[in-house]
Structure 1
Amino acid sequence: MHIRYETPADIHAIHELTSIAFKPMAYSSGTEAEIIRKLRVSGDLAISLVAEEDGEILGHVAFSPVAIDGVHDGWFGLGPISVTPARQRQGIGTALIARGLELLKETGASGCALIGNPDVYRGAGFGSDGQLTYHDLDTRLVQRIVLRGLAPSGTLRFAPAFES
């Protein structure tokens, strides 16, 4: 498996993969593929990586800027992340996250936040100290990993693509 940046030729495959991967998920809004498209169009798709094997895209992860209490300060959001259903739970998502975090760290990013199941993202180094909030969600679901500086506190806001 090879992890690389997306290319224009990958856009359709990423859209299809994201739609298929999220379709059976009870928590899915069904808008994840459209969010990626909107991030791309708005210029907020800071990092977009694919996992490829034998010419087939098996997984994708997006990173985009986030604000905490209205200030960006080098923080990014992880997501959407998707892996083709037949290859889930085989480490593809974990590898995509790890590579994305490496790239963020190389660019001097302060950290990365996400909304998700703590049991899923703990292994990638994410956690919650209850200091980040997002709407009325349980703060355990609002997770972050600090890459430099101090752990933030405040209200998390994702790129506009997530709001519509």
Structure 2
Amino acid sequence: MQIRKEEIKDRAQVLQVVHDAFGRWDECDLVKQLYLDDDVLFGLVAEEEGVIFGHILFSSMEITSPHLQIQTASLAPLSVAPAHQSKGIGSQLIEQGIQTCQNIEDLSGIIVLGHPAYYSKFGFTSTSTENLDAPFKGNEFMGLEFRKNIFPKNGKVTYSQAFGL
């Protein structure tokens, strides 16, 4: 298995993986709109012999306060084809995605809406996002800060328009 950056030629396979992972087209529509709006930072695919069976997407997001504006990444969606789930592919995509985000000069962290028990394994916490002004609250709304306390208290989270928030 190889994990690499997503390319335009991968798009049809990626959308099929996203559909199969979620069993609906909503997340595919999100992926397509993020690309149309030019809000994608990057995507990664897991493949073997030209067959893609895993995908993760990172899009641009801002957190602003009266004194600070920071760029973050939104992790969504993470998709693994059903036949390949529970084999650590999602974890590898997340780990490589985090590493890639940390190498993007202007990014201060990553935000995700997901299962706390799963994403906490990668350093995501809801305590880092609990004081943000965001459309989500609770344990499922988590962040990974690249510098301690970089997310400004009462900072307003702005997702890409494709999320419809």
TM-score (normalizing by structure 2): 0.87
Residues 60-99 of structure 1: pairs in structure 2 closer than 5 A:
60-69=55-64, 73-99=70-96
How many Å apart are 1:69 and its aligned residue?
Answer: 4.0
How many Å apart are 1:138 and its aligned residue?
Answer: 3.7
Gaps of 5+ in 2: none
Say whether the 8 Å CA contact 1:44–1:64 is kept in structure 2: yes
Whole-Å Cα distance in 2 between the matches of residues 81 and 134 of structure 1? 21
Whole-Å Cα distance in 2 between the matches of residues 23 and 72 of structure 1? 37
Whole-Å Cα distance in 2 between the matches of residues 132 and 83 of structure 1? 30
How many Å apart are 1:133 and its aligned residue?
Answer: 4.8
How many Å apart are 1:100 and its aligned residue?
Answer: 1.0
- What's the counterpart of residue 123 of structure 2? 125
Residue deviations 1:75-110 (CA, integer Å, cap 9, x gap): 111011100011112111111111111111111221
Say whether the 8 Å CA contact 1:65–1:72 is kept in structure 2: no
Identify if the C-alpha distance between structure 1 residues 72 and 9 changes in structure 2 by more than 3 Å, giving closer, same or farther.
farther
Letter in 2 for 1:131: N
Gaps of 5+ in 1: 25-29
Runs of 4 or more, structure 1, over 3 Å off, are 69-72
Residue deviations 1:36-74 (CA, integer Å, cap 9, x gap): 111111111101110111221110000011122477512
- What's the counterpart of residue 31 of structure 1? 26
- What's the counterpart of residue 51 of structure 2? 56
TM-score (normalizing by structure 1): 0.87
Percent of aligned pairs sharing the same letter = 30
Q: What number of residue pairs does the alignment pair up?
A: 158
